[in-house]
């Protein structure tokens, strides 16, 4: 009788442990920043990648003009995949593309652009990732469409042909 009680207790303990682990698998602790659509763009100061000049965000973005802010890094494989899309978009005179180089080595970033081409009118540096956080980004690549100093669309992950068509419709 005593051995059966021990067996049932062990089975009950394992069952409880299994239920606790199973429930914890369904819970996620991943932090996803708030998608800041129709919010004003953040105000920040930063340095330009190519010239090393200091610049404020108020000097970059004008009203009545479409901008595409692309957060990228040379070490980011999806950034390399989306680069031809950005090169295609850079030919559109209704859109100004701004790059934000995220937690990257300047030499590597410049080599990346030398190899694949530079679709950006300006490239700002985000050495420690704080500017990206202000935008509501949590990784690379991420892309924002801006009009009248407001974020009107956000894309998480690499741009593709389908998103290229969507962006072209937005800026018409």
pLDDT of residue 30: 54
Confidence of residue 34 (pLDDT cuts 50, 70, 90): low
How much is the pTM?
0.78
Confidence of residue 37 (pLDDT cuts 50, 70, 90): low
Based on the structure, what is the number of domains in the chain? 1
Higher pLDDT, 56 or 123: 123
| Residue 147 pLDDT greater than 60, yes or no | yes
In a domain, 16, yes or no: no
**Per-residue pLDDT averaged across 165-171, rounded?**
94
pLDDT of residue 36: 59
Element spanning 123, H or E:
strand 122-126
Q: 99 exposed, middle or buried (CB, 10 Å; 0-12, 13-18, 19+)?
A: buried
Residue span of the structural domain in which 77 resides: 45-170
74 prior amide bond cis, ω within 30? no
In a domain, 4, yes or no: no
Quote the mean pLDDT of the chain.
Answer: 89
Element spanning 145, H or E:
strand 142-147
In a domain, 7, yes or no: no
In a domain, 33, yes or no: no
In a domain, 30, yes or no: no
Q: What is the tens place of the pLDDT at every residue in 68-120?
A: 999 999 999 999 999 999 999 999 999 999 999 999 999 999 999 999 999 99
pLDDT of residue 18: 85
In a domain, 52, yes or no: yes
Nearest to 70 by CA among 41, 98, 32, 106: 98
In a domain, 51, yes or no: yes
* Neighbour tally for 156: CB within 10 Å: 14
pLDDT of residue 88: 95
CATH, residue 165: 3.40.30.10
% residues pLDDT > 70 (the chain): 92
């Amino acid at each position: 009788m005593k051995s059966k009680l021990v067996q049932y207790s062990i089975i009950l303990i394992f069952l409880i442990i299994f239920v606790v682990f199973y429930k914890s698998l369904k819970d996620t602790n991943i932090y996803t920043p708030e998608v800041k659509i129709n919010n004003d763009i953040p105000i920040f100061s930063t340095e330009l990648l190519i010239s090393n000049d200091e610049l404020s965000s108020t000097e970059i973005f004008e009203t009545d003009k479409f901008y595409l802010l692309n957060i990228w890094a040379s070490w980011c494989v999806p950034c390399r995949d989306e680069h031809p899309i950005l090169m295609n978009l850079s030919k559109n005179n209704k859109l100004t593309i701004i790059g934000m180089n995220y937690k990257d080595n300047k030499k590597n970033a410049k080599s990346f652009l030398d190899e694949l081409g530079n679709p950006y009118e300006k490239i700002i540096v985000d050495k420690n990732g704080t500017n990206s956080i202000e935008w509501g980004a949590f990784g690379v690549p991420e892309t924002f469409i801006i009009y009248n100093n407001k974020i009107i669309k956000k894309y998480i992950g690499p741009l593709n042909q389908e998103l290229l068509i969507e962006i072209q419709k937005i800026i018409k």
